Structure 1
Amino acid sequence: MYSKFVGAFLGISIWCIAFTFSAHAQGATSDTLNITIQQAEDQFLKNNLSLIAQRYEIDNANAQIITAKLFNNPDFSFTNGIYATNVSEGPAYKEQSYGISQLFTTAGKRNKNIQLAKLGVQQSQYQFFDLLRTLKYTLRSDFYSIYFQEESAKVYNEEISSLATTLKLFKEQYAKGNIAEKEVLRIQSQLYSLQAEYNDLQTSIDTTQSEFKLLIKAAPGVYVKPVVNYDLDGKEIVANVPYQKLLDSAYVNRYDLRLAKATVDYNNVNLLVQKATAVPDISLSLNYDKLGAYGNNFLGGGIGFSLPFFNRNQGGIKQARIAIDESKVQLQSHQDQVESDVNSNYKNALRLEKLYNSFDPSFKQNFTHLIQQVFINYQKRNISLLEFLDFYDSYKTNTIQLNNLQLNRITSLEQLNYVTGTPFFNQQ
């Protein structure tokens, strides 16, 4: 009787697993977004709001150049008499005077401010490309994380579905006195443990999905289904790229480092601007007085400038010098950080590549075949329930570990792309 029950249980379990995968496949409705990494990047570049906002910062910086190139407007003044006493030239309203003046900057202030504004545009561009680098790394990492976590979720779905059906049947048989309570509790304990692990995994998937959809500006209700062509088995792509080549590329293409260098240049020019500010500007004027005190139709010219006795912009010059020293220290810190980033990520990528390539490519296929044989042997009662569950738990653990190893390896490649600022190891 027990043997018949086991056979019936296994048949129902296998049917349930098949049904689960069938339902999962049919569940790919219009709310599922099947997307490749290239399609994701295209949508990201087109729709990401953070990038769009940063582009406005570049436009704003370009507008500063226009402002810096403009000359000062001339000043015009006009005076008309209203009232006067003891005059011989007639009513006061006949008295009129005109004046026009123009401020001229000295010490090359205009050109220096134009140069400063151009460096500001350069800084905004570097900030944009560094943001692009950071967000693209997040996008690609999320893409592969979703894919491999979904692969692990399939294993959980399969085992949970099987154990849930098993538990129901075992409870029925326990009620009839056909099996011991400990077998029911063993199945129940295993099921609860799997459900808790699966819930944690699904929470992680949902969080990553949410971040990914924000990056490509997909609707919140859409479920992203990454389409991946994983082809890294047995390849030594990191070992074939010299470390010095990666480091040199990072020094050239890391936009945060280029921004730090541009900040030093900006502060150097700003010091020149502050020194020029200490030099007084000159104002030239031309005045006309119709009924002046000196004589009628008086025309006069003038010049005006401040006397730099007290304020020679000492504070601004000192601040500019401090900013130069500070930016040089920050530049050195960035250079050290770049070298550290490349070194540590290169070692990690090499280690993961070596570890993954040490695995037998046929291991996963062989292990899957082994589990199928375990099903058959359990059906024939060649192995006990406990052995069956242990084999299946081992299958789950090894499959998930292999998925995590694949994810860690491809993530390490994305990290190398990120720290070098160059798509050396882009995977499709």
Structure 2
Amino acid sequence: MAQKYIIAFLIFCLHSSLHAQEFNSDKPLEITDLEGMFLERNYQLLVAKYQIDQADAQILQSKLFPNPRFGIDEANLWSNPSSERLPYLFGPYGSRQQISLELEQLIETAGKRKKRIALKQLEKNTALLDVEETLISLRLDLRNTFISLQKLTAQEVEVRQMVDYLTRLKEQYTRQSKLQTISKVDYYRVQSALITWKEQLTNLTDEQIQKLSRLRLYTQQPLELAHLALSTKRLHNLSLRVPMDLMEIALYNHPAIKQSANDLSISHAELAIEKAERIPDITFQVSYDRGGNIMRDFVGVGISVDLPLFHKNQGHIKAAQIGIKREQEKRVGLAFELNNNLQLLTRQLNLYEKELLDYTNGSPDDFKNMIDTYAQNLTNNQVTLMEFIDFSESYIAARRAYLELQERYYHTFEELQYRIGKDL
């Protein structure tokens, strides 16, 4: 089981790293490139991987046998007149020296050691699943950050165009206001509109900086907007990529469900260990006694075992059985919650997709052309200043609504992929 997780994880890392580009490449970085950098450099992911090494160390520890116990007893540092004379230990020393040596070895019964090894291997699976969960959750946030940055960049282009045009218009109206060829009201109206649009531009720039900082954190690279391929190309019909057996795929792939199944296996393993603890362990003994009995040099063997008279580990066994029931209920609840989330996300995806079909996907060039046309009409007095400002505000508001809906559409699809634990 653990090897399967490791192989799947390494294949994913290899596949993603194939798309990684060097940071100093002339080619703008796509989201796949950022994911490659994320896999190679993200400190949260690297730290999470150390859990696997710790789990391997715990498995190694569980395979070790208990150490034998050696004791020295009844060693006299002096003698009294009633002592017998014994053969010398070495040289002229030890004729009245008594000593007892004992060697003990604990032998575990009922396969306790093998059961502990099996438990530690399941705990290693937990570490692997934690890494997988960390990976896909951070990758989800990375992708959503990139999507949001695309939206902000598209908004920023149009708002900046409006700020540039109003700046020129303000300069023009400043000159005309001094010549008194236009009213002060129009001049202040242009000035107020410019301030409002500059504030929007500042807010967008601030959000871009925050999103870019988040991408830097994930990739550990000093990224700038110029390094990124922030395409505004629209993705169509994402709902068609959603399979019919969505729930079955999610139950097989989602880390939380796999973790729940592994936790249930851990509970069963803990119950097996607690039941094995009912059977007492055996301690074998080998002892040597010099001058302490009727034999001058006595070697004997012995055995000791606890008598299960007062308890047979009933409390721990009951607690482990309750743990199994708890994990079973938890798994049922997680499956229901997952199914509910998948239904919600699928409905939202279809809803957003349907709404996007009603929008006309304009572009910055379209906006620039319309602004130029309205500006020419404003110069020719075919439209008023208020009509020009109202049009630009309405158009950009509609574009903002479209881009935000598109952002929610893409975020929903990424959330759906996260919930099923694989890319569609």
Both proteins in one fold, TM over 0.5: yes
In structure 1, how many angstroms separate the alpha carbons of the residues matched to 2:183 and 2:331?
71
After superposition, where does 1:221-300 map in structure 2 within 5 Å? 222-223=224-225, 225-229=227-231, 231-232=233-234, 235-239=236-240, 241-242=242-243, 244-300=244-300
Q: Secondary structure at the residue paired with 1:94? A: coil
- Of stretches 346-355 and 261-270 in structure 1, the one that deviates more from structure 2 is 346-355
Q: Name the residue aligned to 2:3.
A: none
Corresponding residue to 1:84 among 72, 79, 84: 79
Amino acid at match of 1:78: I
CA drift at 1:367: 5.5
Amino acid at match of 1:298: F
After superposition, where does 1:399-410 map in structure 2 within 5 Å? 399-410=399-410
After superposition, where does 1:212-227 map in structure 2 within 5 Å? 212-219=215-222, 222-223=224-225, 225-227=227-229
- Of stretches 276-285 and 368-377 in structure 1, the one that deviates more from structure 2 is 368-377
Amino acid at match of 2:29: I
- Of stretches 170-179 and 346-355 in structure 1, the one that deviates more from structure 2 is 170-179
Q: Name the residue aligned to 1:105.
A: 108
Q: Name the residue aligned to 1:66.
A: 60
Q: Secondary structure at the residue paired with 1:264? A: helix
Q: Name the residue aligned to 1:356.
A: 356
In structure 2, how many angstroms separate the alpha carbons of the residues matched to 1:177 and 1:360?
42
CA distance 1:377–1:333, shift in 2 (3 Å): same
- 5+ residue gaps in structure 2? 1-23, 87-93
CA drift at 1:56: 0.5
- Of stretches 123-132 and 81-90 in structure 1, the one that deviates more from structure 2 is 81-90
Amino acid at match of 2:323: A
Amino acid at match of 2:165: S
Q: Name the residue aligned to 1:338.
A: 338
- 5+ residue gaps in structure 1? 1-29
In structure 2, how many angstroms separate the alpha carbons of the residues matched to 1:366 and 1:206?
27
CA distance 1:167–1:360, shift in 2 (3 Å): closer
Matched, 1:35 2:29: yes
CA drift at 1:71: 0.8
Q: Name the residue aligned to 2:135.
A: 132
CA drift at 1:180: 1.5
Amino acid at match of 1:124: A
The CA RMSD measured in Å over matched residues stands at: 2.5
CA drift at 1:154: 1.2
Q: Which has the higher contact order (CA 8 A, sep 6+)?
A: 1
1:156-203: CA deviation from partner (whole Å, max 9, x where unpaired) = 112122223333443443344332221122112212222232333233
In structure 1, how many angstroms separate the alpha carbons of the residues matched to 2:312 and 2:37?
54
Q: Name the residue aligned to 1:18.
A: none
TM-score (norm 1): 0.84
In structure 2, how many angstroms separate the alpha carbons of the residues matched to 1:174 and 1:145?
42
CA drift at 1:368: 5.0
In structure 1, how many angstroms separate the alpha carbons of the residues matched to 2:227 and 2:406?
18
Amino acid at match of 1:208: K
Matched, 1:179 2:182: yes
Corresponding residue to 2:41 among 42, 47, 63: 47
Amino acid at match of 1:89: R
Q: How many residues align?
A: 392
**Cα pair 2:110 2:276 within 8 Å, conserved:** yes
Q: Name the residue aligned to 2:5.
A: none
**Cα pair 1:84 1:92 within 8 Å, conserved:** no
CA drift at 1:254: 0.1
CA drift at 1:51: 0.8
In structure 2, how many angstroms separate the alpha carbons of the residues matched to 1:202 and 1:370?
24
Q: Secondary structure at the residue paired with 2:247? A: helix
CA distance 1:357–1:388, shift in 2 (3 Å): same
CA distance 1:136–1:169, shift in 2 (3 Å): same
Q: Name the residue aligned to 2:91.
A: none
CA distance 1:44–1:289, shift in 2 (3 Å): same
Q: Name the residue aligned to 2:327.
A: 327
**Cα pair 1:35 1:224 within 8 Å, conserved:** no
Q: Secondary structure at the residue paired with 1:239? A: helix
CA drift at 1:33: 10
- Of stretches 394-403 and 100-109 in structure 1, the one that deviates more from structure 2 is 394-403
In structure 2, how many angstroms separate the alpha carbons of the residues matched to 1:310 and 1:275?
16
1:74-123: CA deviation from partner (whole Å, max 9, x where unpaired) = 11223443123211225576333322110011121111101100110111
Q: Name the residue aligned to 1:162.
A: 165
CA drift at 1:54: 0.9
CA drift at 1:137: 0.6
In structure 2, how many angstroms separate the alpha carbons of the residues matched to 1:319 and 1:250?
31
CA drift at 1:308: 2.6
In structure 1, how many angstroms separate the alpha carbons of the residues matched to 2:72 and 2:362?
94
CA drift at 1:409: 2.3
Amino acid at match of 1:254: H
